[in-house]
Every structure is written in C-alpha cells, then in structure tokens.
Structure 1
Amino acid sequence: MSKNILITGASSGLGEGMARIFAARGNNLALCARRVERLEALRDELLQKHPGITVTLKPLDVMDYDQVFEVFRAFRAELGRIDRVIVNAGMGKGQPLGTGYFWANRQTAETNFVAALAQCEAAMEMFREQNSGHLVMISSMSAMRGMPKNLTTYAATKAGVAALAEGIRSEMLGKPIKVSTIYPGYIRSEINEKVKNTPFMVDTETGCKALVKAIESEKPTACVPAWPWTAVGFLMRNLPLSLVKKLG
C-alpha cells in the first residue's frame, strides 16, 4: 500500500536519493527544501518515470520555525494525511571548539537540533491528530560517541536528535505511532563530497537503498548500511576514547 511521505532537505544528497526510491515504489511525496529549482527538477523527473504518483513541493528553510509548521500543515491539507515524516535536513559545518568559529558551530547546532525539534513538533502534531504515523530521524554514526575536532558539534547534535527520537518513542510505545532513528555511516553525498579515502564509504544510490530498507522496516533503530556499521557502532560505544578519536 502506498504512503504519503514527507521528506525535508529533499533537494540533494540523501533526501533526493530516498525520494527517488520511495517514488519508484509507488509512494506519494511531499518534498521541501530551500532550493526550489532543484525540487522542481526532481519532481519533473519522478513524475515522468512514475506518472501514477503525486509529488507536491514547498520551499522550506528549517531555521524558520514558524514556516516548518505552516509547510507541514499545508502538505497534510493537500494530501489528506501524512503517513511518514523523514527529518533529514541538516548540515555538517563545524570547527574545533575554542578556535574562533562559534558562529559555525552554532549554525550547525541550531540547524541539526533546534530545527529538527521544530520538525518533530510539527510531525507529531499531525500524527497525534491522525492517531497514526511514522516519524523517522536521520541521525549519524557519529552520534555513538563524542567526536574530536570538526566533528565535535556535529556529533553532539546527532546524539541529541537520537535522544529526542528515543524520548518520543518511549511515549508512543503501544500506540499506533512509530518512531525510528537511523544512523547512517559513510554515504557519499554533497555534505561529504570533498572527503577522500574514507573507509567503508558507499555511493549515494547504494546508501539510499539501505536507508529506505531500514526505514520501511520501521525498526526503532538501525545502522545503515547494516554491514559494517552495526559492528562499528558496537565498537564505538565500547572502545576506549583514545581509539574512538581516530575515527574523527
């Protein structure tokens, strides 16, 4: 059965890749991001390949918190209901603390956590009214431990959103609202296109297929791709920090 799926940050990277796969599976899509022209190109591509689905678009800067609620409500009004919200929008900017880049770390923290909180609020508002839905939080393998240097703030935000999702999941246990936290490993996308020689890196298509598979399983948590990241996650949580820091 097809679903109405809302994806934030859908104009590039993992959001764009997931949209293509969900569309190929016959789902209707509500896509939002700042770069509307890229959303329009994606919509045209998807409708040409899959004319039986609905793809609706809206511009959204997730840092405009009022706009988050307006856009989510408008999508629901257009489609009648939203079955799944994927909180995907985020950024990877960051610098070692104490080096004069508070503005960059603050921007990362606000985009990845406070804006994600707004998206969760807006999604849960709809799901509580519907008494159904699936909230998906895109975290990161870096959430498993504190990370050094440029990753410090980013990892902290991803740990924060994972805890946020777990708190919502705890409240929703036994209810028809599911909450999943996805921990992607190294998947090639625009956010890391300049990073070279990274172990276990997979291409965007492979990574997005694994993401969609994990999301559709509706498991509470999943490391993606499962191999090797489930094992790596265990090691990250249990190895001495002196060894974990080498992953940063």
Structure 2
Amino acid sequence: MSLYNSPSGAGSMNVIITGASKGLGKAFSEKFAAAGHHLFLCARNEELLAATKQQLLEKYPGCKIDISATDISRKENAIAFGNFCLQFGAPQVLINNAGRFLPGNIYEEEDRTFESMLATNLHSAYHLTRTVLPAMIKAKSGHIFNICSIASLAAYKNGGSYSISKFALLGFSKNLREELKSYNIKVTAVMPGAVYTDSWSGSGLSPERIMQADDVVNMVYAASLLSPQACVEEIIMRPQLGDL
C-alpha cells in the first residue's frame, strides 16, 4: 500500500524528521527509511546524527538520507534547514519531533527555562513549518505531524514550562489544521504518554510499564497511509496502566 500523498500516488517521498538522532525521531526515521523514502534528518549532535544515517543506509540501502546537524530551536537554523530540504522539492511528510523536557514547577524552575522550552518545543516547529509550507501549498499535498504530548492536555506537577510549550504546540496544530484544509494538507497532533526511550532508560521502571517507541511510530505511519479524504486530527496514546 503506497502512501497517499506521494506525488504520483506511489514511489519515494521527501520526509523531514527533526530530532532524528535518537528516541522517537530515530524510530520515525527507521520506519520511513524501510519504505525507501528520501529522508531529511536534523539533530543537534553531529556524531549521533551521522551514526544514525550510516546505520539506516546499511540496513535500508533503498532509501536516501540527507542530514543537517543544527539546533533548530534557533529561528535562523530552522529556516536554513527548511530551505536546505526545499532544494529537493516540497516535502510530502513533515514530522516536527524535536523537543526537550526540563522538569520544574513554574514558580521555582530555573531562569530561562520558559524561553528554552518554547524555543525547542514550539518555535522550531513554527519556523520550519512556515519555511516549507509555501512549497506544500503550491503542490496541494502533504502531511504535517506535530509531536505534542499528554502534557498538551492536562497540567501535572513538575510540568512547568514544558507543559506550557506542549499546550502551545497543540494550539499550533489546531490552527494549522483549519488553515490548510483547503490545500489538501493534513495536520495531525500526536500526544503520547510515557514512551521507553533514552530519557526513561535510567528511571528504574520496567519497559513493560510504558509504551514502546514503535507503538507511536506505527500509529503515525498508519495515519499517513489514509486516503486524501481522511485526516486523523489527533493521536492520543497512554500506557495501558495509565500515566506515570
């Protein structure tokens, strides 16, 4: 089954994934690499990103991968990365996955935490999306996935500025969805609970208590397979035993 928004209905697509060197970003990259698409990956750590590219090309020689080691929490870097991707044409899939978690209550978190969380978790998606959207609008196709969080839906202790940024990312997704309907561009907000990635590996929790990265990846990939008439607006996923 081919992805609906490939230009000809089949074949290789241009897929942009941010925060791609580890965790969910790396898992997204593997899923789309396995299908033979042209990936555009970015992350801050050049060594990890290059290793990810090498691993994927060795495992999936049918795909093509371009990488950029950059911090897209900075507006100019997000715009530059978007323009780099556009050299190869409009993206058919954009996964705004780059993010960071700094715990703390609003009244006691360290100074600049608020600015850092907004820049990494919201501004990066905003500026990258705005950069590539004109080409997607011209093509009248594409699918944008914004990786939000369960923290986008409810306040919790120690959520602080992280939760604020994720609430805002969900608002960004809802506005994009309304604006882009008539251009045949889909927007999906993804709100996973705890997923067993590097950030949880040292927690002491059993991997059986929380979700696997592939659980989220498979849902996103399935949403990308739907006909042009159907859009999954939100994906909400929690561990079977509930949030932690």
1:170 partnered with 2:183: no
Residues of 1 paired with 2:21 and 2:99: CA distance?
Answer: 12
Structure 2 unaligned residues grouped into runs of 5+:
1-9
AA at the equivalent of 1:159: F
1:184 partnered with 2:197: no
CA-CA distance at 1:203 after TM superposition: 2.8
CA-CA distance at 1:58 after TM superposition: 1.1
Q: Please give the secondary structure, in 2, of the residue aligned with 1:46.
A: helix
Q: Please give the secondary structure, in 1, of the residue aligned with 2:21.
A: coil
Q: Please give the secondary structure, in 2, of the residue aligned with 1:102.
A: coil
CA-CA distance at 1:160 after TM superposition: 0.7
Match of residue 76, structure 2, among 66, 81, 105:
66
Of 214-223 and 136-145, more deviation after overlay is shown by 214-223
Identify the residue that residue 244 of structure 1 maps to in structure 2. none
Q: Work out whether residues 85 and 123 of structure 1, in 8 Å CA contact, stay in contact via their aligned partners in 2.
A: no
CA-CA distance at 1:35 after TM superposition: 1.1
Of 1-10 and 123-132, more deviation after overlay is shown by 123-132
Identify the residue that residue 232 of structure 2 maps to in structure 1. 219
Q: What does 1:85-234 correspond to in 2, within 5 Å?
A: 85-99=94-108, 101-148=110-157, 150-197=158-205, 200-217=209-226, 218-224=231-237, 228=240
CA-CA distance at 1:132 after TM superposition: 2.0
AA at the equivalent of 2:70: L
Q: What does 1:20-39 correspond to in 2, within 5 Å?
A: 20-39=30-49
Q: Please give the secondary structure, in 1, of the residue aligned with 2:143.
A: strand
Q: Please give the secondary structure, in 2, of the residue aligned with 1:39.
A: helix
Identify the residue that residue 80 of structure 1 maps to in structure 2. 89
Structure 1 unaligned residues grouped into runs of 5+:
233-246
Structure 1 residues 114-146: Cα deviation after superposition (integer angstroms, max 9, x where no partner): 222212212323322333221110000111112
Structure 1 residues 39-93: Cα deviation after superposition (integer angstroms, max 9, x where no partner): 211111111222222111112211221121111111121x333111110001001
Residues of 1 paired with 2:221 and 2:203: CA distance?
Answer: 24
Q: Please give the secondary structure, in 2, of the residue aligned with 1:6.
A: strand
AA at the equivalent of 1:106: E
Q: Please give the secondary structure, in 1, of the residue aligned with 2:105.
A: coil
Residues of 1 paired with 2:182 and 2:134: CA distance?
Answer: 18
Q: Please give the secondary structure, in 2, of the residue aligned with 1:81.
A: coil
Of 34-43 and 100-109, more deviation after overlay is shown by 100-109
Structure 1 residues 155-186: Cα deviation after superposition (integer angstroms, max 9, x where no partner): 22111111111101111223211111111121
Q: Work out whether residues 33 and 63 of structure 2, in 8 Å CA contact, stay in contact via their aligned partners in 1.
A: yes
CA-CA distance at 1:200 after TM superposition: 4.5
CA-CA distance at 1:13 after TM superposition: 0.8
Count of residue pairs brought into register by the alignment: 229
Q: Work out whether residues 94 and 108 of structure 1, in 8 Å CA contact, stay in contact via their aligned partners in 2.
A: no
Sequence identity, in percent? 23
Q: Aligned pair in 2 of structure 1 residues 191, 111: CA closer, same or farther (>3 Å)?
A: same
Residues of 2 paired with 1:105 and 1:212: CA distance?
Answer: 32
Q: Please give the secondary structure, in 1, of the residue aligned with 2:194.
A: coil
Identify the residue that residue 57 of structure 1 maps to in structure 2. 67
CA-CA distance at 1:102 after TM superposition: 2.6
AA at the equivalent of 1:27: H
Identify the residue that residue 5 of structure 1 maps to in structure 2. 15
Residues of 1 paired with 2:209 and 2:216: CA distance?
Answer: 11
Q: Work out whether residues 33 and 61 of structure 1, in 8 Å CA contact, stay in contact via their aligned partners in 2.
A: yes
Q: Aligned pair in 2 of structure 1 residues 200, 19: CA closer, same or farther (>3 Å)?
A: same
